[in-house]
Amino acid sequence: MKTRKLRGLTVSAIGMGCMGFSHGYGACPPESESIRLMRSAYEDYGCTFFDTAEVYAAYENEILVGKALKPIRDKIILATKFMPEVFLPGQEIPEGKTSRRGLRNAVENSLKRLQTDYIDLYYEHRVPPNRDVAEVAEWMGELIKEGKILAWGVSEATPEQIKRAHSVTPLTAIQSEYSIMERKVEAEVLPLCKELNIGFVAYSPMAGGFLSGKYSSQSKFEGDDLRRVITRFDPKNMEANQSLLDLIKKFAANKNTTPAQISLAWMMCKNDFVVPIPGMRRDERLKENFGAAEVELSAKELAELEEALSKITIHGDRKDSDIQKLGTVKTVATH
């Protein structure tokens, strides 16, 4: 597969978001199947970038990812995250989790669960609104010097937070939601990343699967499936957003590709420092999503698509506050 640069890290042009193997999108595959799919991503498609977090199913996803990737650990780039203000079992630090000791405790335990002695890319999963991100930046710098992590990033950070953090310890990547349906980062965050030479990792690049065109207003989402509370999946909004799917399907037909591949190629052709990390839990999804790395949109095609998109209104969104309502002791439902 083609590769891209996240500052100093070289990763496959498309990575694998691993959260869905443990929770968040309905019934999960058996452990053995999840492990097979993660290894297939590397062995059959050249994916070298895998993303997890301590909070995904309260440690379970990190444990699963660590087990799956252990045989190829030296061949891949592994990313995980710590959630500053969500306390999980074993994180009762007197000074609070957002402290030097709290961060060190979090990274040490992630290392154990992932069965590795270093983490390639370690994110602050969210930036608490009343905390100075420079503190975490300083502590991340210490971990980099010690070799426990190779690089660091933040998720869903504002431009001001990015600048502040980057001035203390240079950021390697920003991870935020980005797709044809959710483009708020295009206003300030993506231009800032380009200016500062910071990579951008796009989570939910398929908008929870909506952009694949495989769901309809009749689809049912149950259990801890995040789409129960993401308003884009409200039946009325799905019907209202059909014009977007029709547009993408039209472009896909002209390119002899799929809507999913057009959706991923669209963001990669716009910026060479953007790396999407879609979730995928079937062999056909691996083939389809990783195949998007070979789809090229010409300047003319991209301009035509952008012009058509400018005339479409997106209905519904995805809010952390809504998603967190699904959280339980075992499953903290957030990306």
CA 87 to each of CA 58, 59, 92, 102, 335: distance values in angstroms, whole numbers, following the listed order: 10, 12, 7, 10, 16
* CATH number of the domain to which 169 belongs: 3.20.20.100
Structural domain of 33: 3-213+259-296
Residue 319 covered by a domain? no
When the pLDDT of each residue in the chain is averaged and rounded to a whole number, the result is: 91
Helices 189-196 + 159-168 axis angle, to 10: 20
pLDDT of residue 230: 77
Q: How many CB atoms lie within 10 A of CB 124?
A: 27
Residue 230 covered by a domain? no
- 3 CB contacts (<8 Å, ≥6 apart)? 10, 11, 12, 13, 48
Residue 223 covered by a domain? no
Is 56 considered catalytic here?
yes
Q: Band the pLDDT of 221: cuts 50, 70, 90.
A: confident
**Which position has the token pair 């769901």?**
215
Predicted confidence (pLDDT) per residue in 15-35, tens digit: 999 999 998 877 899 999 999
Predicted confidence (pLDDT) per residue in 159-178, tens digit: 999 999 999 999 999 999 99
Residue 98 covered by a domain? yes
Residue 162 covered by a domain? yes
Tell me how long the chain is: 335
| Share of the chain residues as helix, strand and coil, in percent rounded to the nearest 5 | 45, 15, 40
Residue 248 covered by a domain? no
Q: Catalytic one among 42, 56, 123, 178?
A: 56
Residue 134 covered by a domain? yes
Q: Band the pLDDT of 329: cuts 50, 70, 90.
A: very low
User: Number of structural domains, the chain?
Assistant: 1
Residue 163 covered by a domain? yes
